[in-house]
Structure 1
Amino acid sequence: MSHTHRCDSEEISIHTSCWTMTKRTFFLLVILGFCATWQKADAQITLGKPIFRVPSRSLEDSYENFYCELDKIPTNQTILYQWFKEGNLNKPLGDYSSHSKEEATFTVQVKLAYDGRLICKASVQNNSEIMPTFSDLMDFQVLVPVEGVHIISNPTSGDLWEGDSLTLQCNITKGTSVLYDWLLNGVHLLNDSSNNQITIPRLSSQNSGVYVCLAKNSLNETHDYTSKSERRSVHVKEYLSTPEISYEVVKHAKGNFSAYVKCQVAKGSPSINYTLFINNHDVHVVSSEDQHALFPVPIVLDQDMGTVYCQADNGKTPVQSRELKLKVESVGGPMRMRLEKAVTQDFEVLGVWIYCSVEKGMFPQYCWFRNNKSLENQGPFYRTFHPNHAGLMVRLHPDTAGSYHCEAFNLFDNATRVSGPRTLITHDAFNKIPTAVAATVFIFFSLLICAVLACCIYGVVLRKRQARKYMFRLKDFTDMHSVVDDDGVDDKIEELEEDEYEEREHDDLDTEAYTEDMEVVQASMMEDSDKSEEEEENNLDNYSF
């Protein structure tokens, strides 16, 4: 019995111990489940999208503040903010731990490496169960002041000629977001500001000058960081045009003469070497910065000194002028004068132009005289024209009356003169009707009156003759119808026809104007003839009775 009781006591002790352990395990399991449930609920928290605020641009090595924050933070845990550059999210450029839900502020010393697109990341610190979120990408521009601007030219050296190509490139040693401006002699050229070079495919003289490159970038749209390049001087050389050759004659104090041959180009860059050739021999060479050169050549008047031409060269292809015959002929021979009138619509002569020309002479000069008194180049009623004063214009009024003539002499020597014919110029002489013209008009008018008078007389005579013929014919027909004898009638008719035939042979007058009268006469004659035939038939009838 005792043994059994002891066993029951031990069994009860074991059951009590097992219950105690089971109770503890239950409570532990409850606590672990609650913790697991809390962690699971906590893991379901999500963060909103952070807002990242950065300036659009900033200067290198300056200090700027970047801001990042969440609109709503659904947890009391610490939020970790980090910012990165696009394409490198494994390397944060800055971080900030927010304990009281304040926004993150990053104080940044701007570096050139930050230029590009930036992003902010928000996450719960030391808790990888809550998924982090990212802001939108923000553009950030790092400005580096422009330094070391210089121009590179292609071609780099040598002369530039019109038609060649030229490229100028503006290079810098430092600077970002650079815009370029080009100036020629202080004037802006139209060019793409983002392009650091300009190209001129065909140079001309207008492209000559000083080129300057202006490189710049801006900060906050208010300040310009600008650097000017060293100046680049461009000189475009022009090709020479074909030279023109001419000469002037000069008389020296000793009485000898020289021809100053002028070789001139219209365009071409200096310096220019001019060469004169006489009879294909090189005789003179002159280097000049001007577009012409003079060569003195001794000559003798009225003698053939040969041919001359010149050549110009400015370093490219030499150009040659035409050949010119060097023979100076002095004035001589007869003088010719030609006169033209200025006439109004009423045929009134208001003025005259007089032209003089001498037969010989290469450099003639003219002077004019009125009543043997020399005239100036211009006066109250006249003026000379043409470069050598070969023409004279005279306005007609009473003061212009006089005898005019011209004289010719050598431009380089007025010792030899040739005088022209004299002509009388007055207002009345040019505006009165000439005698020959008046006589011609009078004769023509007289002949016209005579012709009209003859026509009138001719018409009167013809009408009278026609009237007389009509009366004769009427009388003859009356006498003819009064005769009954046929033979007598036939004889009478034959006589009348013979008389009429003779009258037609001797009548030369035109009777076309009186056709109407003849038709009346013929009609009357036919009526008389019909009446006569009726009377004869009646007489025959009576006779038969």
Structure 2
Amino acid sequence: MLLWSLLVIFAPLSEEADFLTLKAPSVVFEGDSIDLMCQKKKDWWNIQTVVYYKDGKQLQFPDKVSSVSIPCASLSDSGQYSCSATVKTFFRSKSESSRSVGIEVLELFPRPVLTVSSYWPTEGSPVTLTCETRPSPQRSNVQLRFCFFRDSKALGSGWSSSPELRVPAMWTEDSGSYWCQAETATLRVRKQSLQSQIHVQRVPVSNVSLEIWAPRGPVIEGGNLVLLCSVAKGTGNITFSWHREATRTSVGRKTQRSLSAELEVPAVQEGDAGRYYCRADNGHDPIQSQLLSIRVRSPVSHPVLTLRELGPQAMVGDVVELHCEAQRGSPPILYQFYHENVILGNISAPSGGGASFNLSLTAEHSGNYSCEADNGLGAHRSEVVPLNVTGTGGCRRDHVTARVLGTLCGGLGFIAAALLCYYWSHKIAGGRSALHAPRDASSANPQESTHTSSLPDIEELQPDYVNVGPIDVDMVYSQVWSIQPPEDSANTRRMILENKDSHVIYSEVKKT
């Protein structure tokens, strides 16, 4: 009996492995926990220390713990596990080891792969990033979420359940290294893709043009002028600048990510008119637009009406010049002339300035006159100018004609006076000769005397022509009589021939 006990105590070492066993799962997935337990087969053994091994290498766990756990398994945790323990029997202490147990950690989802819709996109074009991976079929219910990065900076809103990220437009500064991550919703497993390079290509600007924002309407002085500079092509930040040809200096500058830009010139003046151009530059050679001529139109000012060529008093028959002029206003300007708000006529001034309208006065032309100027930007009326026309009856002349007529009449008066003196001197001389004539001379030809006496008295004749002076001058400068002697009187005809000046009498008499 004693011999049998000794055989049991001193059993061969090959059988000692059966005294310890390692309890562990043979298959786990990433993220699962691995529980290891080193168990003894004999209750009467007293385990003092336990050591765990993986692939023959000691794992760092407390020596006096019989069971341990790896909380989140990874693929690197696959291998051969075993344990050893120091046990104490009735007679002595010894070390025992378990058999090895193989543990395989399965992949929950493969490492993600980043795919890009275009690795060489042009500026302004969209790009789609995709983080490609999926859970293992044995764990198809596992939920994943994704995040995308550029040069260690998270893109978009961060983590999302969508494996895609769409970038609406890529720009040169967006070039760089991109990668993505995928993880389980429980945050136990996270994997990262390899990095991919994206190079964004810039398109140079082309076909630069300059135009007025409101081409249909005129540029009016005092209003706002908006200049639109645009390009047909071009990517990235484009710098737009506006220039005036006369000075070649910049009148405005903007940098923005668009194909067009506006420059507003408030309260534009006539001095702002001229030729303009713009430039566009996005890092390549700047491109210049063609020249654009800008004309600034100004509304007409209130015109001034003046009446020219008038003497101290306007009279019937006078010709008056109505001159209307607006000091400011872009041509062409249309002038209209009014008499008591009735249009007399209109005259256009294609090159600006004033315009004149000639009017021959009648008695009805007395009243108020005005004019209006309009260049399509608003009409303005002048102040009223009154005109009083006098001399509505008689034979009126203008003041120039009156002066000429006065000069002529003065000369005729002088001639009439001289002729009158001449006539009276001849009359007196004839009377004297008649007194001294012999009586037989008068009786020698009684027929002649009879005919002579039959002539009408000169003073009783009515004048055929009267030359009068201006109205309001009661002086008659000349009168002409015509005497018709009897046809059968030869002596009478002879007397008229001998005294041929006797039928024209110049006199100066008062009007009755």
Per the normalisation by structure 2, the TM-score is: 0.33
Q: Which protein is richer in helix relative to its size?
A: 1
Higher relative contact order (CA 8 A, sep 6+): 2
Per the normalisation by structure 1, the TM-score is: 0.32
